[in-house]
Amino acid sequence: MMRVSHPVLMALCAAGLMAGPAVSQRPDNQLNPLSVTFLSQGQQQLSVGKFDEASDSLESALAADPRNRAAFVSLARVAQKQRLFGKSIRLTNKALALEPNDLDALEVQGEAMVELGAKARAQANLAKLQKLCPSGCKQVATLSGAITRGPTVASARASKTPTPKTN
């Protein structure tokens, strides 16, 4: 009897150990509620210009759930407000690695590319957005406007450059 029950007991233990992780894992489309809370706080702080606090909250959202694409995109928006366009592009790359067709990530990344003078790459993002929403969407309008306007940083620097004096 002991010989039969021992293997059965071992099999039941193994099945219980393997079932544990499957029960506790979340589906890919369900984010950790704590991450969503931090995301909401970060977006609110961003909207009132508290960039450092927004950055802290959004980084906490990503620590709670690194699959939170909206946190990457919002953090990229914070980076843009701080004129850190390269960082903005890196953050949107992380969002796009999770979902290559994320409309907001494509828009924010394209805006950062415009600011860095990478107009051709921004136009490639615009073309992808136009393909994803053929009837138009706010992301297409925003990125199209940014491309038409051109880099604001370069034009701001140019207007602050003193004109040489002539004698």
The domain spans of the chain are 33-152
Going by pLDDT thresholds of 50, 70 and 90, the confidence category of residue 6 is low
Q: Output the six-digit token pair for 130.
A: 């136009």
Task: Give the mean pLDDT of the chain.
Answer: 84
pTM score, two decimals?
A: 0.76
Closest C-alpha among 115, 103, 123 to residue 150: 115
33-152: which CATH architecture?
A: Alpha Horseshoe (1.25)
Residue that wins the pLDDT comparison between 44 and 6? 44
Cα radius of gyration (the chain):
24
Within 13 Å and on the Cβ side, how many CA atoms surround 35?
17
Task: Please provide the distance, in angstroms rounded to a whole number, between the alpha carbons at the two ends of the chain.
Answer: 110
For range 76-86, the mean pLDDT: 97
